[in-house]
Amino acid sequence: MIFRQHYLECLSQASYLIGDETTGRAIVVDPVRDVEMYLVEARTEGLEIEMVIETHIHADFVSGHLELAAAGVEVAFGSAATTNYPIRKLEHGEVVDLGGVRLEILHTPGHTPESISILVFEHGDDRQPWAVLTGDTLFNGDVGRPDLLVSVGLGKEDMASILFDSIHGQLMTLPDPTRMYPGHGAGSACGKNLSSVVWSTIGEQRSSNYAVRLPDRDSFVAAICEGQPAQPAYFPHAVAQNTDQRSLLVVDPPDPLRLSDVVVAQAAGAVVIDTRDHQAFARGHLIGSINVGLEGRFAEFAGCVAMPSDELVLVCDDGTEAEARIRLGRIGYDNVLGHLPSVQLLLADHPGLSRIASRLTATQLSERLDTVSVLQILDVRTGAECEAGNLPEAIHIPLDQLADRYVEMDPELATVVFCAGGYRSSIAASLLRSRGFPDVSDLLGGYEATAPDEDS
């Protein structure tokens, strides 16, 4: 058996290539949209991918099933799935035989109605599975959230109760040594307590996963429905893209644009996303642009500051334009007009279109609190981060809610934004400036920089 896990850190997303080296037959599970890596790996290993299996209709990324279908691969979902393109529907207990290696489908609804898990048997006569791919039903340290829009028609309590049955009636009946490979790790909004370790065993989850250890259905439902993170705004769009017959991913670099064209497009409503790191952005950027650095969770946060229907212009370090476009495409943001090359040189020649971002040290923030009569402080960290420590003066609006909730703030007040380390605060500060806040700074070093020095 050839078994490969592909883990995409920036989306905390896992996909899988499974092949039988004796027959050369292979399948891919939950692929990202830029599928060339699976095709190249299959060719290298002497495999032919004949099927892509989706464990469910994803909300947090646009899957690559249609890109693989264009390469002649059959697309399969659990039998409860409904899509607007042809699929093979896999029944509970159905076997997908690759020759020696075989897969068995388990219907494990709860995260979504159509969710499945996949048992992997390394040899044709094995009685116990080598592994189970659990999609978003069971994670290392958590279970899938039951409240996403793909579950329309059933309440979150109903879905959580169904999930309880899938966990205990299906997955926890497997032998303890069975390897467990989930669809996501820490950082994903598809759960609230995911581990950064991207595989485990059924036995380890039985003994250590808080959700699995809950004593009964009622306590499970109550715990799983409480405290889930807010759904990023792009999730419904990703669901639609994964359900519909959509266009294929474009991997070529976006066309270069003239500065004058960008200014016109911006005035007409286009969103300019500056993908450089926050230090470079602070030194000079196009007025009205929003800083979402490629070095972080770029697509996820771009999906928090722009709408799927927005026309997008990218500002990139030279040579990163294609990467930025592909990463946006992973969440279905395809409406890229082009990119602005050599931005620093262009803005140096057009200083009236350029702005420097204000950034404060913790000491400067303390001084401003003493000298400014009313200073508006915004904390854009998650709720869990705030519970671990916060500034009592701060307004708390998580970054993934700011595009909708910035109206709760006073644009006339001097504003300081902070996060944990500086990446998200630069996004938030630039978003507020683009919404007409004239005096916005972000805090260098984030919340940790405000903590007192224990050695002093």
pLDDT of amino acid 456: 31
What amino acid occupies position 288? G
Predicted confidence at residue 151, as pLDDT, reads 53
* Mean pLDDT confidence for 384-412: 91
Average pLDDT of 221-245? 90
Share of the chain above pLDDT 90, in %: 83
Q: What does the pLDDT look like over 77-87, one tens digit per residue?
A: 999 999 999 99
Question: Nearest CA to 302 among 424, 181, 188, 183?
Answer: 424
State residue 455's pLDDT score.
38
The pLDDT, as a whole number, for residue 278 is 93
Q: How far apart are CA 377 and CA 374, in angstroms?
A: 10
Mean pLDDT in residue range 360-389: 89
Measured CA distances, 452 to 211, 362, 369, 455, 456 (Å): 36, 10, 16, 9, 8
Residue 208 CA to residue 229 CA, distance in Å, equals 22
CA–CA separation, 404 and 62 (whole Å): 23
182: β partners: 135
Q: How confident is the model over 272-297, as a mean pLDDT?
A: 95
pLDDT, tens only, 128-149: 999 999 999 999 999 999 988 5
Lowest mean pLDDT segment, chosen from 183-197, 206-220, 275-289, 316-330: 183-197
If you average pLDDT over residues 203-225, what whole number do you get? 96
Give 290-325 pLDDT, tens digit per residue.
999 999 899 999 999 999 999 999 999 999 999 999
120-156 b/e (C-beta count within 10 Å ≥ 16 → b) = bbbeeeeeebbbbbbbbbbbbbbbbbbbbebbeebeb
**Average pLDDT estimate for 230-255:** 93
Cβ atoms within 10 Å, residue 39: 18
Average pLDDT over residues 411-423: 93
Residue range 430-456: mean pLDDT, rounded: 83
The CA distances from residue 83 to 28, 111, 147, 251, in Å, are 19, 18, 20, 25
Taking the CA atoms of 241, 32, 274 and 423 in sequence, report the sign of the dihedral they define: positive
Question: Is the dihedral angle over the CA atoms 176, 181, 187, 190 positive or is it negative?
Answer: negative
337: pLDDT strictly greater than 90? yes
Question: Could you tell me the domains of the chain?
Answer: 2-243 (3.60.15.10), 259-355 (3.40.250.10), 358-450 (3.40.250.10)
Give the mean pLDDT of 109-136: 95
Distance of CA 219 to the CA centre of its chain: 28
Mean pLDDT of 15-39: 97
Q: Alpha-carbon dihedral of residues 433, 436, 439, 440, nearest 10 degrees? A: -30
The C-alpha atoms of residue 335 and residue 453 are separated, in whole angstroms, by 47
- The lowest-confidence range among 22-26, 224-228, 425-429 is 224-228
Task: Say how far apart CA 138 and CA 233 lie, in whole Å.
Answer: 24
**Is the model more confident about 103 or about 188?**
103
Average pLDDT over the chain, rounded to an integer: 93
Which tokens in the block code for residue 450?
Answer: 């405000």
- Report residue 428 as tokens: 């938030």
Instruction: Check residue 359 and give its pLDDT.
Output: 95
On whether the CB atoms of residues 445 and 433 are closer than 8 A, the answer is: no
Reported confidence tier of residue 48, pLDDT bands at 50, 70, 90: very high
